[in-house]
Structure 1
Amino acid sequence: MRVVRPVLSRRTLLRGAGAAMALPFLEAMMPGARAADRASRPKRLQVFYSPNGMTMPGFQPAETGAGFALPPTLEPLAPHRENFSVISGLGHPQAAAMGDRPAGHGRSCPAFLTGAHARQTEGPDIRAGISMDQVFAAHLGDATPLASLELGIDQASLLGSCDINYSCAYTNGISWLTPSVPLPVEANPRAVFERLFGDGDMDEAGRLAQLRRQSSILDFVMEDARRLSGELGMEDRRKLDEYLDATRAIEKRIQRSAASPATAQAGSLEQPAGIPGDFAEHVKLMIDLQVLAMQADITRVGTFMIGRELSNRTYPEIGVPDSHHMLSHHGNNPEKMAQLGKINRYHMEFFAYYLQRMKDTRDGEGSLLDRTLVIRGSAFGDSNEHDFMDLPVVVAGGLAKGGRHLRVEKGTSMSNLMLAGLQSLDVPAESFGDSTAALRDAIDG
């Protein structure tokens, strides 16, 4: 006897006791489409950003093409050689002064994803451009519950620690909804989790009950989950169980962080409940939330800043007691450059963790990484010189050719790469930022 499985809408939710949560992409949402599985999966865009530039000799491979030797900063990516490529020579001409007063971070950071020249101002009349991620989000429309997710590690700075003559808005984030509206970065994992699963779909009574009982959102929806699981095929049941387990694990980590609020490294301000005191745990938790959001198709667009531009964070856990920004202006001192190189490599280890998490998370017959374009970079190459014309850029994921080092003519606008990326994401764009032509070689090979 033929068993008829239910056909589920992509907007199907698990519900219960005033709570609701999205489902991962299941085969039951795509009946009869297994043969065209890969092509029918949604495409995604992720951007991973490190502040304060790089020690380029430790990042940039000596050889071009395939089989290049991994320099020290890129060594953590060794397990993912075929999933990423290094693109050398890209820059942002719009980060130049163009008659404005001297500055570096305040112009380069907003140019990173917009290809636009930031207006010099410390007031509210900020202006840059629409960022690549938001162009893609606008193209997707209401395909997902959240248009995009902007995550980071550092809380926004409103006073101090901002580039002279430039508003803090220019260095707090990299995502711009419009030329005058930068999108805020969320650094608190509890707030991110509630945005993904609690806001809008959990009524006030349910939220209060959850807080009183310190229970998981899964406790509210498990009855519905068990009912649905009994109607699914074996592969979908496995995928649903994997998703629920991952959600439960993240909740527990957030609850542990909230129970023991830590003290921020800089100064004596107490961190908000939900932010882990351990930097590595904080970064991995935010990455896991980003992956979970992609897995559940809550959004297909995400940016992650492992530190805000001009970050003065210290890294005693890896033997770097001096501040990141101070070390980025090393004056070619070998000891300071070595310390900065440690930070660069440390940040790359978390990017490797991100790639592994995306690889390990199934999406149909493949993984989340298979249908994602990932851009990883910084607003500077040589941070000591505030060099914005030779950036450390990596493209990764299944939507771009991997396993090579491509060197383009130095000074080629990074907007050309972003235009090619948008086209690979099926956005019918003919230009972006200050692009001159789509750099298809960086995507297609």
Structure 2
Amino acid sequence: MDTSPIQHFRSDRMPHSLSRRTVLRGLGTAVALPLLDVMSPSRLLSAASPNQSAPLRMGFFYVPNGMHMPDWTPKKDGFKFDLPPTLAKLADHQDSINILSGLTLDGARAHGDGGGDHARSVAAFLTGSHPRKTNGADIQNGISIDQMTAKYVGDRTRFASLELGLEASAQAGNCDSGYSCAYASNMSWRGPTNPMSKEVDPGSLFDRLFAGQAVKETRQARSVREKYRKSILDFVLEDANQLHKTLPAVDQRKLDEYLYSVRDVEKRVGGAEKLRLNEDGVPDYPRPSGVPKELSKHAELMMDMVTLAYQTDSTRILSFMFTNAGSNRSYPEIGVSEGHHELSHHGKSEHKQEHIAKINRYHIERFAYLLDRMKRTPEGNGSLLDNCMLVYGSGISDGDRHNHDDLPILMAGAAGNRIKTGRHLKYKNGTPLCNLYVWMMQQMGAKADQFGDSSGVLDQLV
């Protein structure tokens, strides 16, 4: 296990090899580096395992209210299946994904507790547990897969895990038929009574990843940067230039592309802080400071920083909620004025099902944007996406039925050549989703043979 401290690049040393923990430093600022060839020279000597020195990452991406399943499920199993309408935007990534049909989330079922499927589906999605029905302080759930895995590998990175989303978490209140809002708005749980709140502000996340790295940004540094409107990168420019001179050409290109990405995200985050005002001079949309009004722009900024967080090895474990459970957000940007939750109770209405499918495609497009970014980010002899295993889906299948079997589950990334991708894998209906999580934990190096309601380790992935 690599527990070495963060190291400052020293320009007086030619980096025949460079620590993975090396950072560029400036006034109160430290910026992590992407994986460079000089950080792992042994990889250049072994073509048999091209990504052996690249870290493996896991991520979980949740969408609410189930799915229009006829537009989600491929008609053919195995390789070379036709992408159904909802997944059509993933055409460029079909060889990097698997669709997993038949997986079930038993913890989200009522088990005598009556209504509340939306809150239960989120609370159970990563825990595999059945949450106690309460809207008081006596919440009770299980530890989630991301936090369980972080116990084994979280100390290898600056952040053991990141919990992100597009809608803020709540820790109290009645959100779904007697279930606490803590269940409905958090899918990551550090312990049975400890939900992990999401970061939804792109600016705050950027500061966590860069301005506060290694050392907290000092008041002087923040004051200088704000006064002269300087970039984070302006303070580490001298370090960056010195390092650039000592790198081989392939690493120079990687460094240039990475620093360009950081500066681009920083500029867009700065632009997002400018609230649009209506004719009365007040904000026309209630949102946390720094969050763009347009959901698509908000999502893109967050996905850019997911990429940077993985690329710099700031974390290897991440969860992301597009919206909270039972979200009734409308999507006027795609011509859907009705609320999402309302539409999910479609009663077989063709109009409502058509609009649900539109929302499903909209969410997938945001995920496709992330896969685009990660696939274009080189790492080792492949891409960043090659060294990830990302789970996308929902704890509800058909929103009208509120069923929790045959869930819409997609897995992206080759997990460092551990997965055969490009397939539709159809499992026996009722197979625990937690079987997948046991497999993922094992790939991350965790000593686990059981999690939640697992009945074994999911097969067919390799």
TM range (shorter): over 0.9
What does residue range 140-155 of structure 1 map to in structure 2 within 5 Å? 140-155=153-168
What does residue range 253-272 of structure 1 map to in structure 2 within 5 Å? 253-261=268-276, 270-272=286-288
Does 194-203 or 214-223 show the bigger shift? 194-203
What does the per-residue CA deviation read over 1:103-133, in whole Å, with 9 as the maximum and x for residues that have no partner? Answer: 2112111111111111111112212111111
Consecutive unaligned residues of structure 2, counting only runs of 5 or more, are 1-12
CA drift at 1:440:
2.3
Partner of 1:77: 90
Give the match's secondary structure for 1:38.
coil
Does 158-167 or 121-130 show the bigger shift? 158-167
CA drift at 1:201:
3.4
Give the match's secondary structure for 1:350.
helix
Give the match's secondary structure for 2:99.
strand
Partner of 1:217: 232
Picking from 280, 287, 310, the partner of 1:294 is: 310
What does the per-residue CA deviation read over 1:69-123, in whole Å, with 9 as the maximum and x for residues that have no partner? Answer: 2111011111111111111111111222222232211211111111111111111
Contact 2:186 2:198 (8 Å CA) reproduced? yes
Partner of 1:191: 204
Cα 1:30–1:101 change in 2 (3 A) is same
Partner of 2:10: none
Report the residue type matching 1:425 in the other structure. Answer: M
CA drift at 1:249:
0.2
Partner of 1:411: 430
Between the aligned partners of 2:142 and 2:97, the Cα distance in structure 1 is: 28
Partner of 1:430: 449
Between the aligned partners of 1:385 and 1:221, the Cα distance in structure 2 is: 55
Report the residue type matching 2:359 in the other structure. Answer: I
Contact 2:120 2:130 (8 Å CA) reproduced? yes
The answer to whether the aligner puts 1:401 opposite 2:420 as a matched pair is yes
The answer to whether the aligner puts 1:285 opposite 2:301 as a matched pair is yes
Cα 1:119–1:419 change in 2 (3 A) is same
Report the residue type matching 2:366 in the other structure. Answer: F
Between the aligned partners of 1:231 and 1:108, the Cα distance in structure 2 is: 51
Partner of 2:22: 12
What does residue range 218-233 of structure 1 map to in structure 2 within 5 Å? 218-233=233-248
CA drift at 1:182:
1.1
CA drift at 1:284:
0.7
Picking from 306, 318, 323, the partner of 2:322 is: 306
Report the residue type matching 2:210 in the other structure. Answer: F
Report the residue type matching 1:249 in the other structure. Answer: D
Report the residue type matching 2:310 in the other structure. Answer: M
Q: What is the aligned-residue RMSD (CA, Å)? A: 1.8
Does 158-167 or 303-312 show the bigger shift? 158-167
Between the aligned partners of 1:158 and 1:300, the Cα distance in structure 2 is: 26
Contact 1:85 1:403 (8 Å CA) reproduced? yes
Give the match's secondary structure for 1:302.
strand
Between the aligned partners of 1:334 and 1:158, the Cα distance in structure 2 is: 37
Picking from 166, 183, 186, the partner of 2:179 is: 166
Contact 2:174 2:180 (8 Å CA) reproduced? no
Picking from 41, 50, 75, the partner of 2:54 is: 41
Report the residue type matching 1:385 in the other structure. Answer: R
Between the aligned partners of 1:161 and 1:288, the Cα distance in structure 2 is: 33
CA drift at 1:25:
1.2
CA drift at 1:188:
0.6
Give the match's secondary structure for 2:411.
strand
Cα 1:262–1:130 change in 2 (3 A) is farther
Contact 1:101 1:165 (8 Å CA) reproduced? no
TM-score (norm 2): 0.91
Contact 1:112 1:379 (8 Å CA) reproduced? yes
The answer to whether the aligner puts 1:238 opposite 2:257 as a matched pair is no
TM-score (norm 1): 0.94
Cα 1:32–1:89 change in 2 (3 A) is closer
What does the per-residue CA deviation read over 1:403-439, in whole Å, with 9 as the maximum and x for residues that have no partner? Answer: 1111111111101111112222232211111101101
Contact 2:63 2:323 (8 Å CA) reproduced? yes
Between the aligned partners of 1:118 and 1:154, the Cα distance in structure 2 is: 21
Contact 2:150 2:161 (8 Å CA) reproduced? yes
